[in-house]
Amino acid sequence: MRTDRVTYSAFSGWVDAPTDLRPALDGDATCRVAVIGGGINGMSTALRLAERGQDVVLLESEFCGHGSSSRNAGQLAGAPGGDLQLLNLLARKKMPGMMRLAEHAARHVEEFIATHDIDCEYEATGNAFAAVSRGQMGRVRRVARIVTRAGGHVEVGTAAELGIPRGFVGGMREVVGGRMNPGRFSLGMRQVLLDSAARVFEGTKVSDIVREGGQVVVTTPRGRVRADHVVLATNAFAGEWDITPKHLSVPLYVVEVETEPIAPERIAALGWTSGMGLVTQHAIMENYRLTPRNTIVFGVRRLERGMGHPLPEKVPDRALVEELAGAFALRFPSLADVAIDRAWGGWIAITSSWLPVAGRIGDNVHFSIACNGHGLAQAPYVGTLIADAIVDGHRHEDLQTLWHDEPRFPRPVMMGRVGLRTIWAIDRFNDRVNGSRRRARKFG
C-alpha cells in the first residue's frame, strides 16, 4: 500500500473547521447550568437543557466539534465498548444495563439525526465484530452468547452470510446502529445548538472550576461564569482542574486513515455487500468502513498514552500509518496497491473499568466521560440524560447504570506506555501464529 503522499491533519479528515466561530466569553456571566466542552456530549447536554427552558451557557476552548466527536470512524455502535468477555467476568450484573444503554444510545442518535434532518450520510447498516482468524471467530461466538444473554440483538455468521469482505472469517453483526460522516454529524449538531436558546462561547478555555457559596465559579481568560450547576464534558481533556476526580480516565491518542477513491468494481469484488463497519477482535482493535466517496477509512491498532496537561495537538506518527497500511494489505489483499490519502487522530478517554462513567461531585458538579471509543452513540445519549437528571432531580435507569455516587476510581492498570506496548505485542504475536496456521492449511 502506498503511503508516500499522505496529508497529515491535526483536525479531521471528514470536514473542515467552521469559520463562523461564536465570540469568546468577555466579561462575567451567570446562568443556571454551565457546560464545559462542546463535543457531542456537552452539546447534547446544553441542547437538552435549552429545550427544557433552562438558562444554559456552553464554554468550548476551540469550536464545538473540535475534539474526537468530528474525528472518529463514524461507526455508530449498538453494543458496549471494551472487552465484553472481561466485562462479563468482572461486572456480569451490569451487562443487561450496559446492553440496554448501548442500544438506546444508538436509537437516540438515529432519532436526533432524523428530527433535525442532519445531513451526515447516516446509513443504518449495523456494525460487525469481525474475526480475522478462527481463534477470533471463537471469541466472537462467546461474545455473541454474552450479548444475547444480556438482551442485546446480534447475528453471527460467516463473511458471506453477513456480507462482509471475504478476507474475514466471519463475525457478529450488531443489528442496531450504522455508519455516518461524524464530522458532518458534529457540525450539524453544532448548528442546531447555535440556533437554540443556549449561550455558546467558543475560543474560551476554562482554566479553573471552584465552588463558592453554594454555586460554582468557572474561570476563563477574559471572564468568569457563576452557575448553580456545572457539567464537565471535556472527555480526554478532563483532569486539568483540581475538581476532577483522580484517576477518572486516561487520555489515549488514536489514529484513522483514509484511502484514495477506489474503483466501484474493485469495492464490489470484495463481497462487502452489507456495507457494515467492521471492528476486529484484537485486544486493540482495527476498524474498517466504507464511505460514500468510495474510500475506506480504517485505523487504531495502536494506542498512545497522553502524559500531563494540556494534551498536545498532534498529527499521526508516520510509522503507525505505515503499520496500518500493512494491516490493510493483509485484510484486503486485492487492494494492496491502493494509496492512503489522509491521516488524522484524536484523544479519547479510557476509564479503568473500560465502562463509560457518569456521576456528581458534591451536589452540583456533574461529569460524564469516557465512552471508551464508543462515544458516537453513547456520549450524546448520556449528555441528554444528565440534562434531564438536572432538571427532573432523578436519574433515568440508563444513567443509573453508569452512575458513581462516590467519585473515587482505581488507578488504571496496563494503561502506561509499557502496558500498551505489551498488549500491542500480544496482538502481533497472535497475528503471526494465525498467519502461519493459515499458510499451513493452504499448502499442507
Ligand X SMILES: Cc1cc2nc3c(=O)[nH]c(=O)nc-3n(C[C@H](O)[C@H](O)[C@H](O)COP(=O)(O)OP(=O)(O)OC[C@H]3O[C@@H](n4cnc5c(N)ncnc54)[C@H](O)[C@@H]3O)c2cc1C
- What is the per-residue DSSP string for 96-146? HHHHHHHHHHHHHHHHHHHHTT--S--B---EEEEESSHHHHHHHHHHHHH
**H or E segment at 426?**
helix 417-443
**Contact of 271 with 163, CB cutoff 8 Å:** yes
Distance CA 303, CA 301 (A): 7
**Contact of 261 with 227, CB cutoff 8 Å:** no
Least separation in angstroms between residue 255's CB and ligand X is 6
Least separation in angstroms between residue 281's CB and ligand X is 16
Contact status: 36 vs ligand X (CB under 6 A): yes
Candidate residues 129, 185, 237, 381; the one interacting with ligand X per rule CB under 6 A: 237
Cβ nearer to ligand X, comparing 29 with 59: 59
Cβ nearer to ligand X, comparing 150 with 349: 349
Candidate residues 118, 254, 257, 415; the one interacting with ligand X per rule CB under 6 A: 254
Contact status: 67 vs ligand X (CB under 6 A): yes
Q: Is the peptide bond before 165 cis (omega within 30 degrees of 0)?
A: no
Contact status: 260 vs ligand X (CB under 6 A): no
Contact status: 37 vs ligand X (CB under 6 A): yes
Contact status: 177 vs ligand X (CB under 6 A): no
Q: Which among 74-82, 151-159, 392-400, 416-424 is the span making contact with ligand X, rule CB under 6 A? A: 74-82
As a dihedral over the C-alpha atoms of residue 429, residue 434, residue 435, residue 439, rounded to 10 degrees, the angle is 150
Candidate residues 324, 374, 388, 390; the one interacting with ligand X per rule CB under 6 A: 374
Q: Which of 15, 120, 24 is nearest to 380 (CA)?
A: 120
**Contact of 323 with 59, CB cutoff 8 Å:** no
Q: Is 441 helix (H, G, I), strand (E, B) or coil?
A: helix
Contact status: 181 vs ligand X (CB under 6 A): no
Contact status: 331 vs ligand X (CB under 6 A): no
Which sign does the torsion angle of CA 418, 421, 423, 426 carry?
A: negative
Extract the C-alpha cell encoding 66.
473540535
Ramachandran area for residue 344 (φ above 0: left; ψ -120 to 50: alpha; else beta): beta
Distance CA 329, CA 275 (A): 19
**Contact of 248 with 238, CB cutoff 8 Å:** yes
Contact status: 366 vs ligand X (CB under 6 A): no
Cβ nearer to ligand X, comparing 134 with 305: 305
Candidate residues 379, 385, 386, 390; the one interacting with ligand X per rule CB under 6 A: 379
Give the CA distances from residue 410 to residues 90, 250, 407, in Å, rounded to whole numbers and listed in that order.
14, 12, 10
Number of residues that bind ligand X (CB under 6 A): 41
Contact status: 377 vs ligand X (CB under 6 A): yes
Contact status: 224 vs ligand X (CB under 6 A): no
Least separation in angstroms between residue 49's CB and ligand X is 15
As a dihedral over the C-alpha atoms of residue 433, residue 435, residue 436, residue 438, rounded to 10 degrees, the angle is 120
Candidate residues 128, 176, 206, 402; the one interacting with ligand X per rule CB under 6 A: 206
Q: Which among 107-115, 148-156, 233-241, 401-409 is the span making contact with ligand X, rule CB under 6 A? A: 233-241
Contact status: 343 vs ligand X (CB under 6 A): no
Phi, psi of 246 (to 5 degrees): -65, 145
For residue 317, with 0-12 CB atoms within 10 Å meaning exposed, 13-18 middle and 19 or more buried, which class applies?
middle
Contact status: 348 vs ligand X (CB under 6 A): yes
Contact status: 39 vs ligand X (CB under 6 A): yes
Candidate residues 54, 75, 133, 295; the one interacting with ligand X per rule CB under 6 A: 75
Quick note: the x/- pattern for ligand X over 285-324, rule CB under 6 A, is: ----------------------------------------
Contact status: 373 vs ligand X (CB under 6 A): yes
Cβ nearer to ligand X, comparing 62 with 431: 62
Contact status: 217 vs ligand X (CB under 6 A): no
Candidate residues 1, 29, 33, 42; the one interacting with ligand X per rule CB under 6 A: 42
Candidate residues 45, 68, 196, 249; the one interacting with ligand X per rule CB under 6 A: 68
Half-sphere exposure of 305 (CA within 13 A, CB side): 17
Contact status: 78 vs ligand X (CB under 6 A): no
| Residues ≥6 apart with Cβ < 8 Å to 140 | 129, 130, 131, 156, 170, 171, 172, 281
Cβ nearer to ligand X, comparing 135 with 241: 241
Contact status: 256 vs ligand X (CB under 6 A): yes
Q: Which residues bind ligand X (CB under 6 A)?
A: 36-42, 59-62, 66-69, 71-75, 77, 205-206, 233-237, 240, 254, 256, 345-346, 348, 371, 373-377, 379
